[in-house]
Structure 1
Amino acid sequence: MRGASTDTPQEAASERLNQIAAVPRISIQAFCETADMAALVHEAAGERRMSRAHVKVHTGGAAAAAEAYREAPTPNLIVIESSAERSELLGFLESLAECCDAGTKVMIVGHLNDIVLYRELMARGVSDYLVAPIQVLDLVRAISHLYTHPTAAPVGRVIAVVGCKGGCGASTVAHNMAWAISRELDVATVIVDLDLAFGTASLNFNQDPPQSIADAIFAPDRLDSNLVDRLLSKCTDRLSLLSAPASLDQLYDLQDTAFDGLFDILRGSVPCVVLDVPHQWTAWARRALTAADDVVLVAAPDLANLRNAKNMVDLLRAARSHDAPPRLVMNGVGMLKRPEIAVADFAKAVELQPLATIPFEAKLFGTAANNGQMIGEVEAGHKIAGTFVDLARRISGRIEARKAKRKLLSPFMSKLYGKYAS
């Protein structure tokens, strides 16, 4: 029996909240007794993890639910708010059971914290019982859990990295951060290069894969885990790449849902997915950012970056009101003879403290780019290499780097993540 949320403040709880799996394409009808509950369901319907579900809200509680389906088919899930006493509520549920279609789930939001009632509801096939008052994420989490099979692979975490202005180094940050997550934290990771026409991930990792992400996007009828597996290029034991075609042979005018199936497959296949999102504003790019578990904004210390960062922060905060705010990385700071906005002033303007500040080091980054290497491979002891390790720890929520006991843990990781965690 679940009660009101006891979450710690949002930023401290972001790791746990981000593990809520997206609700599949199901139909949900809620029968509410109070205006507060109706408003909460409406808000939950707009939550990003509920974007695929079709939600309708009715009034009248359990009595209305029992009456509504005498002649009408039942949805995938019925959510009922009820303040009725035990015997009265059970009577309504008996009536509802007579007309429920096979496969329909019922969730009760009650006002009685009664373990006897909870057991009787479970015995009658009720899927879950929540004790009011509840919060939006309590409802979303409960619905998500109903449709996540206990033996299913763990839901991966998607981190979207995007530049506030072209040329500010977002791809370099994304690639080095992903490399550090996989190497220093022992987390199997996939980099997805979404800059279909001009992507650089294959160059930065010195890869020449024969196939690319386009083979998945332009053949949705063939898209499955086996196809995605064939398209992945192995960079290291724990890091794989889904490269961009980096070709101008075709146009990439895609629908906003073009990548949804691919992202779902990756979530179920690997614990960490890093999206290298290009600096462009399309329907699919916006959806990739708003649907990600974490968003990292990379900015250089100039006025154009500041304006764009402020716009993006405002939009993402509005679209992701129940998620942690986007993370800020300041890149290329301290370029010789270039007038810059002070990092403190930049942070104050966008109301975000930088997760990392990366200095301008033309020789180091140029050498890495020309060699197809990461900063940690070119000069492992450099301070910037340590910055990327720290960034990886903070963005992934992992406090410690990998330990010597990794071999002891590997059998358990293999069971969880299969070949990605060998």
Structure 2
Amino acid sequence: MELVLPEDIYVIVNPPEAMRLERAIAMRQDSPLTCVSLVASAPVPDDVLAKAQLLVVEVDPADRASVRRIAQIRSARPRVPVIVALQDANVSVVRTLVRQGVNDVATMPFDLDELSAQLLDLAVQSRADAADHLPLSPLIAVVRSNGGSGATTVATHLASAMGARRGGRGTCLIDLDLQFGNIAAFTAQSGKTSVVDLLEAGSRLDSEFLKSAVIDSGHGFMAICAPEAITPLETVDVDQLLHLLAVARREFECVVLDLPANWTGWTLSAVLAATDIVLICDLSVAGLRQAKRRLDLFDTVGLPRDRLRLVVNRVEKRLFRTIGVEEVRETLGQPVYATLSADPASLGNAQDQGMLAWEINRKSRFGQDIVALAQRLDEARGD
């Protein structure tokens, strides 16, 4: 992703330096810098202070009126990033200015390439600092008890149902099944940038980079897809994953994770970061056995049971069943949070067409159960 400077960057310097810099800027048609020609003792114009996203301000340390510019800026715009331009940047002066809230120091006369690099670094840091103050939205991790439990189907439908309950930034579904992820196939969509690209982005990963990877599923939620090529699970860095989740939770009103069947340190870290862990199991003996193993693992790592939402999938509405919902609670020692009806006809037709159950059948029993699950998850948080 190409990093670009924000608009409304003002460089306030003496007339000779302003003329020299304007000539350099004129040779670059895409430069967002605007020169303001002022002697070092003149106050910064109010209209410049009101519009500036970044400021470069000349200061003469020997002139008290010039030094007062910094106090003027900090009083009017306490959070606007500021670079001070000095003719002679000695250590003592720099320390004094930093204590006054200056973000960086540039030397005059300017080298436009160096100044642009400083401004870009400051813009990236400013965006990161602003993001750090945003609250984190709910993070719902969908966990499968065993392969074939229908967890991806639940994740896609749940993301759509959560998205329908939200305006604004909406819901994002992240496919963390790096080897067998099917979100792109389920939604009949694909993107050029995968979740692995985000995990490998390092310090470049911010809100703008995240948005470059997000695709519109066409089903009421945004999605970040797994890579097309199989990726070794051990290549994921835990810190980078947690950073990705934090960026996504600040960008969207709800984030849903589709996790792989295999357990690693980073998948456990993702679950521990979640506000709700939706554990999908079915009524088979094998499914319940694997669900019990997942619960034991969560207990081992200290995951609070009150964040666990045990959801039984493919429940048939018939009188006689070998295993019932009550037996699930007794076997697993965990209350059943919700049940999802078996609806093979609607789901089969929907998946063949890259659609969701309620888009094929408005009265889909599975779809109605998912909507009820989304509502209960929201109501538990008071949303």
Normalising to structure 1: TM-score of the pair?
Answer: 0.55
Aligned mates of 2:250, 2:317 — CA distance in 1: 42
The reply on whether 1:164 has 2:140 as its aligned counterpart is no
Aligned mates of 2:167, 2:329 — CA distance in 1: 31
* 1:209 aligned partner, one-letter code: G
Q: CA deviation at 1:368?
A: 1.1
Aligned mates of 2:209, 2:131 — CA distance in 1: 25
Alpha-carbon distance change, 361 to 192 in structure 1, aligned in 2, over 3 angstroms? same
The reply on whether 1:183 has 2:175 as its aligned counterpart is no
The reply on whether 1:313 has 2:295 as its aligned counterpart is yes
Contact 1:225 1:265 in 2 (8 A): yes
What pairs up with 1:127-138 in 2 under 5 angstroms? none
* 1:387 aligned partner, one-letter code: D
Which range moves more in the overlay, 292-301 or 317-326? 317-326
Q: CA deviation at 1:399?
A: 9.3
What pairs up with 1:310-349 in 2 under 5 angstroms? 310-317=292-299, 319-320=301-302, 324-334=306-316, 340-349=322-331
Aligned mates of 1:284, 1:150 — CA distance in 2: 23
Aligned mates of 1:384, 1:156 — CA distance in 2: 26
Aligned pair partner of 2:372 in 383, 390, 397: 390
In structure 1, the residue corresponding to 2:190 is in which secondary structure?
Answer: coil
Contact 1:157 1:272 in 2 (8 A): yes
Corresponding residue number in structure 2 for 1:205:
187
* 2:286 aligned partner, one-letter code: A
Aligned mates of 1:378, 1:284 — CA distance in 2: 36
Contact 1:317 1:325 in 2 (8 A): no
Corresponding residue number in structure 1 for 2:154:
173
Contact 2:139 2:274 in 1 (8 A): yes
Which range moves more in the overlay, 149-158 or 250-259? 149-158
Aligned mates of 2:357, 2:382 — CA distance in 1: 20
Aligned mates of 1:340, 1:377 — CA distance in 2: 32
Contact 2:187 2:218 in 1 (8 A): no
* 1:303 aligned partner, one-letter code: V
Aligned mates of 2:219, 2:316 — CA distance in 1: 35
Aligned mates of 1:368, 1:313 — CA distance in 2: 32
The reply on whether 1:152 has 2:136 as its aligned counterpart is no
In structure 1, the residue corresponding to 2:152 is in which secondary structure?
Answer: helix
Contact 2:131 2:250 in 1 (8 A): no
Contact 2:271 2:277 in 1 (8 A): yes
Alpha-carbon distance change, 230 to 340 in structure 1, aligned in 2, over 3 angstroms? farther
Q: CA deviation at 1:184?
A: 3.8
Corresponding residue number in structure 2 for 1:301:
283
In structure 1, the residue corresponding to 2:239 is in which secondary structure?
Answer: coil
What pairs up with 1:4-403 in 2 under 5 angstroms? 152-186=133-167, 188-236=170-218, 239-248=221-230, 250-253=231-234, 254-317=236-299, 319-320=301-302, 324-334=306-316, 340-397=322-379
* 1:282 aligned partner, one-letter code: T
* 2:203 aligned partner, one-letter code: D
Q: CA deviation at 1:324?
A: 1.9
Is the radius of gyration larger for structure 1 or structure 2? 2
Aligned mates of 1:301, 1:347 — CA distance in 2: 11
How many residue pairs get matched?
253
* 2:379 aligned partner, one-letter code: G
Aligned mates of 2:355, 2:220 — CA distance in 1: 16
Contact 2:288 2:332 in 1 (8 A): yes
- Unpaired runs of at least 5, structure 2: 1-98, 100-128
* 2:164 aligned partner, one-letter code: R
Which range moves more in the overlay, 317-326 or 206-215? 317-326
Aligned mates of 1:174, 1:236 — CA distance in 2: 15
Q: CA deviation at 1:282?
A: 1.1
In structure 2, the residue corresponding to 1:358 is in which secondary structure?
Answer: strand
Query: 4+ runs of 1 displaced by more than 4 Å?
Result: 148-151, 320-323, 398-401
* 2:351 aligned partner, one-letter code: A
* 2:139 aligned partner, one-letter code: V
Contact 1:393 1:400 in 2 (8 A): no
Contact 1:174 1:276 in 2 (8 A): yes
Q: CA deviation at 1:255?
A: 3.6
Q: CA deviation at 1:207?
A: 0.5
Aligned mates of 1:230, 1:150 — CA distance in 2: 17
Q: CA deviation at 1:379?
A: 1.3
Percent identical among aligned pairs is 28
Q: CA deviation at 1:256?
A: 3.4
Aligned mates of 2:344, 2:172 — CA distance in 1: 27
In structure 1, the residue corresponding to 2:371 is in which secondary structure?
Answer: helix
Contact 2:149 2:313 in 1 (8 A): yes
Alpha-carbon distance change, 399 to 156 in structure 1, aligned in 2, over 3 angstroms? closer
Corresponding residue number in structure 2 for 1:123:
none
* 2:150 aligned partner, one-letter code: G
Contact 1:185 1:398 in 2 (8 A): no
Q: CA deviation at 1:219?
A: 2.4
Q: What CA deviation, in whole Å up to 9, does each residue of 1:161-200 have, x standing for no partner?
A: 0110001001111110110011145471100000112111
Contact 2:186 2:351 in 1 (8 A): yes
Contact 2:176 2:257 in 1 (8 A): yes
Aligned mates of 1:222, 1:263 — CA distance in 2: 14
Q: CA deviation at 1:285?
A: 1.0
Q: CA deviation at 1:378?
A: 1.5
Normalising to structure 2: TM-score of the pair?
Answer: 0.60
Contact 1:255 1:283 in 2 (8 A): no
